Structure 1
Amino acid sequence: MDLSIFASQTQVIGLDEQSDVGHARRTACKLAEQHGFDEECAGRVALLATELCSNVIKHAGRGELHLRVLPRNGGGYIIELLTVDRAQGFDPPTCLADGYSTSGTQGIGMGALARMAQVFDVYADSRGAVVLARLYEPGAGAADLRVGISQHALYGDPACGDTWHLAIDGQHISAIVIDGLGHGADAEVAARAGAAAFAEAPFADPVQLLHAMHQAMLGSRGGAAALAQYDGANDNLAFIGVGNIGASLIAGSQARGLASLPGIVGGQFRKAQVFDYAQANGKLLIMYSDGLQSRWNLQDYPGLVHRHPAVIAAVLHRDFCRGRDDVTVLVVDLEAAHA
C-alpha cells in the first residue's frame, strides 16, 4: 500500500494580534523539526508561517493558522500551513506579483512565498481569504497529495467524535468518515473503533468492510459512517453509507449527492447497499460529518472548484460549520495516478 493516512485534528492557532505571529512561527517550526525536517527546511517553514500570519494580521486584523502533517508517498512528511480569515478579500493575481504589498510594507511578498513552498494556492472573495502552503524536504515521492482535511472538535476539546481514514494503493483510493454519536470521549471511542477495523483492510469488499466496522463498534455509542472506494483502472467510485454522513461527487458546475441509508453503525441498520458511480476520474469527492451544514454549493464560490482540495475543505469549514458539534470535511481529487 502506498499510503495509509490516520486521522488527526487540525491544529488551530488564533491570530488576533502581532504577538500571535511569533507563537505560530515557533509552533510550525517545532512541528517540522519533530517530523525530521533539517535546519534549512524547518527554517523555510518558520519563515512561511511568519509571513502568512503577518499578512492575516495586517490585511484582515484577525484570523487563524491551521497546521497539519501528512505522510508522503516514498517516505517523509508534508507540513501544511493554511491561513483563514473573514476580511474583504484581495485579488490573488495582483498579490502574487513581486513587489506588491497589501499594507505598504516591505515584506517578502506572496510571489516569493509561492516560490518557497512546493505547493501554494489561494482563494479570496468578499467573504475572506484562504492561503495554502505545503512544504516537504527534497526526495522521492515529489507528487502532491491532492487531498484536503479539516477536522475540528467542538469547543477545541482534545477528544473528537469524528474521525476519518484515507488509504491509497496505486490507482485505488479508499476513504471513510465516521461520526460517533454525540461528541467527546465516548463518541471518539466509537469512531476510532470503526476506523481501526477499516484500516486493517481498506480495499476489502465495501459491504464486508462496513460490517467489520459495525462489529468493531458494537458496545459503543455507535455512529454514522460512509465509505468510498475509487478504482482508477475502471474509473468507478463505489459508495456505501449508514447514517448522516454527507457526500457529493463534483465535476465543474455539476454536483451529485451520494446516497446513504438510515441506521447506526454499531447499533442497528436494516441493510447496507453499495452505489456505483461511473466516470469519476477528475471529479472531487467531498465527504463531511453533520457538524457541517449541508446547504453549501461550490457554484456560489466562483473558481473554488478548481482550487486545491485543502483550500476547498477550509472554505467549507469556515463558512458552514454549525458550531455545535464536531466537524470533519474530507476533499479528495479523484485521479487514476494519485500519489
Structure 2
Amino acid sequence: MESFLNNKSILITGGTGSLGKALTKYILEKHPGVRRLIIFSRDEQKQFQMAQEFSEGDYPQIRFFIGDVRDKERLIRAFKGVDYVIHAAAMKHVHIAEYNPEECIKTNVGGAQNVVDACFETEVGRVVALSTDKACAPINLYGATKLTSDKLFIAANNIKGDNPIRFSVVRYGNVMGSNGSVIPFFIKKKESGKLPITDVNMTRFNISLQGGVDMVMHALKYAWGGELFVPKIPSYRIMDVAEAIGPNCEKTIIGIRPGEKVHEEMITPSDSFYTYDLGKYYTILPATHKWDLKEFVEEFNAKKVSLGFSYNSGQNEDWETVESLRKLIKEHVDLNFKA
C-alpha cells in the first residue's frame, strides 16, 4: 500500500522530545519512502544524542536543524521545501511555567504564531499542532498558553485564502513514560522507599507514546482543517500508579502543586455544541469552517455528541487497574520493571 508520506518532506518542531523521537522512529520504519525528515529543536546536546540513534548513514532522509520557535526567520528558513509540519515544541512543565510566565508565553504563544506565519511564508501543505488536556478549561498558565496556541492554529484556517494548507490540533492526556511524567518519576523515587502524592483523589488520562503518534498521523492524513482531535483513552488514579510501582513504599501526601487540577478535562460541556464522535476519536470542530459540515459527517460517519457532554478523567468509563498499569509500564516505559 502506497504511503501518503512517500516523497514528502516533514519537519517536527521539538523533535528531540519524547513524542518527537517516537514520531521519528515510526515514520522512518513505517514510511521509508519519506523524502526528508527534519528534526528542529534548540537543544544541541539532545540533537547530538539523537543523531547517534538515527544517523544519516542509516537514515539518509533525516536532517537535524538547530533553531527556536521564538525565531520566525529561522523557522522560515527551516520550512522551505517542507510539505508537512508537526508542531511539538513547547515549554510544558506546569510549575516551572507558573514561576516563569513570560518565558512560557514566548515559546507557547509567540512560538505558535511564528509557526503559523512561517507556514504561510513557505509552501507547507499540512500542519498538526500538539495540545494537552490542560488546555481545556485551564487553571494554570501552561494550559492557558496551549489553549491560545490551539486557537491560533485553528483560526489560521480562516485567513488562508486560496492557500490549500490545512491546520489541525491533537489534544491528549499524560503520555506514559514521557520526559517529566509521573511514572518514570515514581520509578526513580521508588529507590528511596517514599512516593510523594499530591492528592489521593487525583486522576489523569493515560495514553502511550504510540497512541500519541497514531493521533498525529491520523490528523496529518485525514484533517480537513480546523479540527481538534481528542482520543478515547482510559484514566488512572494516582494512588493506583503508586501501588503499581511501589506497593511497599510509604505514600507521603505533599499537596497539589501550583497550577494543578485534581481531575483533567479534554472536552467541556460548552465544547459539546461542536463535538462529534468519530469512533476512535472525538473531534471538536471550529465554529466557522470553509468546508461543508454535511459532507464531513458523511465522510467520517461522524455522530454529534449530546448537548452537555463532557470528557473528564475523574468521570471516565474506562479505567486502568494496578495490574494493567504494571503491564503497561513494563511494555512502554521500562522493560526491566518489577513492582
TM-score range, shorter chain: under 0.3
The structure that is strand-richer by fraction is 1
The structure that is helix-richer by fraction is 2
- The alignment's TM-score, normalised by the length of structure 1, stands at 0.28
- The alignment's TM-score, normalised by the length of structure 2, stands at 0.28
